[in-house]
A and B are shown apart, each in its own frame.
Chain A
């Protein structure tokens, strides 16, 4: 169990705190992903937990005890670096033994532990290999094994998969899951890759500009991103966010509810606004809809009509840029894919809209039915 209490890190000469009053509680045995763009403070947070950097203020507690003044090697926290930081001049065996040998552990115990760990990480037959001859995923295993030998209670992983080739990522993800199950370790890992975060973590903590934006169970976060920054970050491509106001329309003469951004009216698939929403030009809201929820439609009841101005095929699906006046929204198509320059009508089911207030807090998901 690990607690971050108002954890803050300021670097001299920088006006903005790298980590700004972060409060986070991580259960024993839980896997927590710190997700955020580069420079959002996640690595600084990790470094403070492990003890490579000292917090400017705030506290870090493990099982209720503050560890801020505990020296790095006595914290019982392991860190695996993004570039693995394996000792390249040593063999696998020497790498794994390092953490024990520097603590003057008896030779027979070192040998036993090293061989057990090597077996566990699947490098039992490569103990005598020079580290510099290993592949990326083998180096990753050595880096993890080298930490596990010292039996940490908490394992920190900094971008554990981003330096691996795609196939190795898949198997490494399985490996990390097995590790968590078999050892019951508390794992905190930092990543900017949401696929990585979503596929491994029990809970996600989203950070930006040094602040913690949201902490939530992975599934819930996908279903109900409670802050607009989270919605803008999750998904590939992320959610379309419109900013404007709701108005009851006579735009097509038939009434109905519209969302207006700039000069464009988006027709919503309902006649009445949700209870949380006030109509009119001075009531400002955000409206979100995911690219994958937009689909091609025929007939008059479309959400928006626009011209296809960009297509990016990504294997099985295709991301399309749809330009409406001076706005651009993204839609994800599997088949059929419209042609470039074609005018298309798009619609989305009423329950797939996300409504945020002007401060970016989620009001509700889904529009009321007719």
Chain B
């Protein structure tokens, strides 16, 4: 690497002055609110009672309450995790299947390609509203089911069915992302190792698992990480479809925190919950990335 290459460029001292405005902005806009929220999570502040400065400091009391006593929170965490596992598995399988179909050319491929990507571009609010409409007692879904001889299903009265409705909505909305990422990943898998494996006598299944999959693994993990972060934050669809109901049976983390903050005005408690979720997601994504981190970072060569 030469002295002047961009990677080796060392900023001079005067140069750093010019970064001050940017640093001030990020300090005010990003870091300060985060620190305020972090402090808030150690207090018992509620906006209806007093100002934050007057709120009493409670140490880890909020966290203890959440982790030990708040079953509704723990259930929301578990439910979100379950939702993530189910949605991501379905999205991965469907996305991979679609991507594999698109590896060979067929008529109408371009139109279908655009069509398959459309759901991803629709606003979550619109998706939530639309599917809420579809799943109504005498909505289109039930009418189709009626044609098959299944009498009207009350999607939002049963906790299982409501959960399934959320899963269907989420899978419809986000399979295109997996499809897109996996298709570009599959196209980037070099062809010759596949041919070499075929010549050496590997069956199509062996070719996929032994040659294609290892090459695709970093891409798969990246897709999973992106989607896992999104599912943990899922709010709009659930809020519009079920509002967490019936009862709190489809309540996800975001929905619970939203209720804590804006229904019960327990802002400090909500902040603590949010920080717990943040820590949990960081840990999970870190663990997910470990097996492929070297593979992803090595190729900078």
Q: How many residues of A contact B (CB 8 A)?
A: 25
Q: Is the CB of B214 within 8 A of A146?
A: no
Which B181-215 residues have C-beta < 8 A from chain A? Answer: 190, 192-193, 195-203, 206, 210-211, 214-215
Q: Which of A3-11, A73-81, A110-118, A288-296 contacts B (4 or more CB under 8 A)?
A: A73-81
Within the assembled complex, what's the spacing in Å between the Cα atoms of A147 and B196? 9
Question: Closest approach, in angstroms, between the C-beta of A195 and any C-beta of chain B?
Answer: 25
CA–CA, A50 to B202, complex, Å?
15
Query: In the assembled complex, which residues on chain A have CB atoms less than 8 Å from the CB atom of B197?
Result: 87, 98, 102
Closest Cβ neighbor of B299 among chain A residues: A132
Quick one: which of A51, A73, A88, A89 contacts B200, CB cutoff 8 A? A73
Q: Which of A79, A89, A103 contacts B196 (CB 8 A)?
A: A79
Q: Is A72 an interface residue (CB 8 A)?
A: yes
Docked-complex contact A52 and B192, CB < 8 angstroms:
no
Contacts of A88 in B (CB 8 A): 193, 215
Please state if B192 and A102 are interface contacts (CB–CB under 8 Å): no
Interchain CB contact under 8 A, B199 and A87? no
**A102 partner, pick from B190, B202, B214, B215, beta carbons under 8 A:** B202
Across the interface, name the chain B residue whose C-beta is closest to A156. Answer: B199
> Does A85 touch B at the CB level, under 8 Å?
yes
Tell whether, in the assembled complex, residue B214 and residue A98 are in contact, meaning their CB atoms are under 8 Å apart: no
Cβ-based interface call for A92 (8 A): no
User: Roughly how many angstroms separate A132 CA and B193 CA in the complex, as a whole number?
Assistant: 13
Report which residue of B190, B193, B202, B206 has the largest number of chain A beta carbons within 10 angstroms of its beta carbon.
B193
Using A98-B210, A102-B206 as known contacts, say yes or no to A85 and B201 having CB atoms under 8 A apart: no
0/1 string, A124-153, CB within 8 A of B gives 1:
000000001000000000010011001000
**Per-residue B-contact encoding for A186-223, CB less than 8 Å = 1, 0 else:** 00000000000000000000000000000000000000
Confirm or deny: A287 has a beta carbon within 8 angstroms of a beta carbon on chain B.
no
> What is the CA–CA distance of A235 and B195 in the complex, to the nearest angstrom?
34
Chain A residues with Cβ below 8 Å from B298 are: 132
Q: Is the CB of B211 within 8 A of A72?
A: no
Identify A150's interface contact among B200, B211, B217, CB under 8 A: B200
| A249 part of interface (Cβ distance < 8 Å) | no
Is residue A357 contacting chain B, with contact meaning CB distance below 8 A?
no
Contact A103 B201 (CB under 8 A): yes
Residues from chain A with Cβ under 8 Å of B190 in the complex? 83, 85
Q: How far, in angstroms, from A52 to B198 measured CA to CA in the complex?
A: 9
Min CB distance, A264 to chain B, in Å? 50
Establish whether residues B196 and A85, one from each chain, have CB atoms under 8 Å apart when the complex forms.
yes
- Once A85-B190, A87-B210, A102-B206 are accepted as A-B contacts, the answer to whether A150 and B201 lie under 8 Å apart by CB is yes
- Rounded to whole Å, the gap between the CB of B24 and the closest CB of chain A is 44
Give the docked Cα–Cα distance between A23 and B210 (Å): 38
B-side contacts of A50, CB under 8 Å:
199
A85 to chain B: closest residue by CB: B192
21 A-B residue pairs with CB within 8 Å: A52-B198, A52-B199, A72-B198, A73-B199, A73-B201, A73-B202, A78-B199, A79-B199, A81-B192, A85-B190, A87-B193, A87-B196, A88-B215, A89-B215, A98-B202, A98-B210, A99-B200, A102-B200, A102-B203, A103-B201, A147-B199
Task: Give me the 10 closest cross-chain CB pairs, A-B, nearest first.
Answer: A85-B192, A73-B201, A89-B214, A99-B200, A85-B196, A102-B202, A85-B193, A81-B192, A102-B206, A102-B201
Q: Which residues of B are at the interface with A, using a C-beta cutoff of 8 A?
A: 190, 192-193, 195-203, 206, 210-211, 214-215, 217, 298
